Amino acid sequence: MARTPCTVANEFSGAVAVIRGSADLARMKLEPNHPATADVARIARSCEEVASLAMELRRLVCAADAAA
C-alpha cells in the first residue's frame, strides 16, 4: 500500500498519542515534588501542541487526498 501524506499524518498523530499517554501515566506515578514532574508536564504540553498541529496537517493533506 502506498503511503500518502494523509496516512503519514495519521501515523504521526498515533505516535503523539502514545507519547502523551506515557507522559500521563508517568505523571500519575510521580510524587508532586519529584524532580521529573516539571519535565513530564512539559512533555504533555508539547504533545498537546503537536497534536493540534497534526490535526491541522491532517485537515490539509487528507482533504487533498480525498480530492485526488
Helices (H), the chain: 5-29, 37-67
- Count of the separate structural domains present in the chain: 1
Give, in order, the Cα–Cα distances in Å from 4 to each of 14, 23, 27, 40: 15, 29, 35, 32
Q: Which domain range does residue 30 map to?
A: 5-67
- Which residue is listed with cell 499517554? 21
Residue among 25, 20, 11, 26 at smallest CA distance from 47: 20
Residue 67: pLDDT above 70? no
State residue 3's pLDDT score: 82
pLDDT digits (tens, 9 = 90+) for 13-58: 999 999 999 999 999 999 989 999 999 999 999 999 999 999 999 8
